[in-house]
Amino acid sequence: MAEQQGERITYVDGTIRVPDHPIIPFIEGDGIGPDIWRATRRVIDAAVAKSYQGRREIVWKEVLAGEKAYAQTGEWLPKETLDALSFYRVGIKGPLTTPVGGGIRSLNVAIRQELDLYACVRPVRYIQGVPSPMREPEKVDMVIFRENTEDVYSGIEWPSGSPEAEKLIRFVNQELGKSIDKTAGIGIKPITPAGSERLIRRAIRYALDHKRRSVTMMHKGNIMKFTEGAFRDWGYQLAAREFPDQVITEEELYRTYHGEVPEGKIVLKDRIADITFQQVLLRPDEFDVIAAPNLNGDYLSDALAAQVGGVGMAPGSNISDTLAVFEATHGTAPKYANLDKVNPSSLILSAIMMLEHLEWVEAAAKVLTALEETIAAKIVTYDLARQMDGATEVKTSEFASAVIERM
């Protein structure tokens, strides 16, 4: 289908409007990106075709970022790519390399910040048959909402010995009465009320819409009281102000409701970051939706992915109120590039999230069921095959074919 036959996705009064032939930009990615993108595209196109019998079809539009963009344009992240993602409202991308040397620190971070994709959403759920280090991985069913634009990922830092670092240290020591070693490298950690509130608001709305039980705010506020501690405080204040009839605190749960969550309500609670890592291992079924500042959310997302089989099985999206970019959550693995070898499940699962975002739930369900059946049949790529007894090891493209056959 030619591009001009497709239409762009729009929003009306905050509600997504998806045409039957939406134009969706894709970035195939670096390293293993082209292999897993080809597999994912085949799976998604097959699911849409089987679900809607030609009535709906995605019109794919390639945009460039990473090594392919640099080779063709001399830029790692062309403005045209950002413009296309912004204009078409929904996009999907493979893994991107981080350029060595100066310039962009991370292309992934740059896309999030340039488009103000303030929430990184990472569902973590076990798929039966995937090797896991946990005794009961099926108890892991969480959705992480990680703030995407603030915290130490803002990139406000200066190296040891630089004029900027020395100037800032001098100001802090002389004007604010602190004592920082003059040889220190300096980083600044901004966390704002607005940034925290929109992230926590989205997590609460997700929990309510999906009939989840709780939202846990993960923070290190016992030490960083005015950044991460404030993140926690702003969350409670937001809930009391905007969701007074739908959200109760953990204190209210036991004081007023004797530990029983009333119908139609969710519990808002908080946990210190370090204890959270222990509790998601020992008591994963006590966690549901988790909202976290940027760095905490980054660590926790990958730690939880390990509990259900690794980042190769972990989907993700970066979203704002009117934009969404879905992505594989792992790296580029350049030594496996163009070998048709690696597991495409992270990108396929992210594409399922994309279909759900489009409200094409029939196609999303078809992909998920077929993926689960393929893994249950022990037809897997090398990363899972080496951990499973009796597995049939297949190539990336063959895995996609096996998923399609089961639709």
Binding residues: 97, 106, 108, 112, 122, 146, 298, 330-336, 343, 382, 386
Residue 277: phi and psi, rounded to 5, are: -60, -35
In whole angstroms, what is the distance from residue 242 CA to residue 162 CA? 45
Dihedral sign for Cα atoms in the order 75, 103, 101, 28: negative
Helix residue ranges, H only, 291-342: 294-307
Q: What is the DSSP letter of 291?
A: E
Helix count and strand count (H, E) for the chain: 14, 17
* H/E segment holding residue 27: strand 23-27
Q: Is 2 buried (19+), middle (13-18) or exposed (0-12) by CB count in 10 A?
A: exposed
Annotated binding site for NADP(+): 97, 330-336, 343, 382, 386
Is 62 within 8 Å of 298 (Cβ atoms)?
no
The one-letter amino acid code at 365 reads: A
Nearest one of 129, 147, 148 to 138, comparing CA atoms: 129
State the catalytic residues: 153, 220, 274, 298
> What CA–CA distance (Å, rounded) separates 227 from 295?
12
DSSP helix/strand/coil, 301: helix
Q: How many residues does the chain have?
A: 407
Please, are residues 113 and 85 in contact by the beta-carbon 8 Å criterion? no
Residues 6+ apart with CB under 8 A from 55: 20
Beta bridge partners of 111: none
CB 384 within 8 Å of CB 343: yes
Region for 219 from its dihedrals, namely left if φ exceeds 0, alpha if ψ lies in -120 to 50, beta otherwise = beta
